[in-house]
Amino acid sequence: MNKIVIVKDFLQLLSLMLTVDPKQRPTAAQLLTHHVFTNVQFDISHIPIAYAEEVGLKGLIQSICIHETFN
């Protein structure tokens, strides 16, 4: 997937999330099925631990790294 497609997909998702009318705005569950979340292959272990700590993922990433080391 090229960067332009990813940006367009993300902007579409953001537009859906910012829909003013709550009756027209998708629910969180519906948004989580958007192809931005379902089609992008993302490896969480590539997040540097320093950044992971800021977003609360430090323990998860450390456990992934330890698991990969022993496998």
Higher pLDDT, residue 22 or 57: 22
pLDDT of residue 10: 81
- Tokens 């456990």 sit on residue: 63
pLDDT of residue 32: 87
Provide the number of structural domains found in the chain.
Answer: 2
Looking at the structure, do residues 55 and 35 belong to the same domain, yes or no?
no
CA gap 6, 34 in Å, rounded: 12
Looking at the structure, do residues 34 and 65 belong to the same domain, yes or no?
no
Looking at the structure, do residues 19 and 48 belong to the same domain, yes or no?
no
pTM over 0.85: no
Q: For residue 68, is pLDDT > 50?
A: no
Cβ neighbours of 23 (radius 10 Å): 5
Range of the domain at 65: 42-71
pLDDT tens across 5-52, in order? 667 888 898 999 999 999 999 999 999 888 877 775 655 555 565 555
pLDDT of residue 39: 73
With contact defined as beta carbons under 8 Å apart, do 32 and 16 qualify? no
Looking at the structure, do residues 4 and 27 belong to the same domain, yes or no?
yes
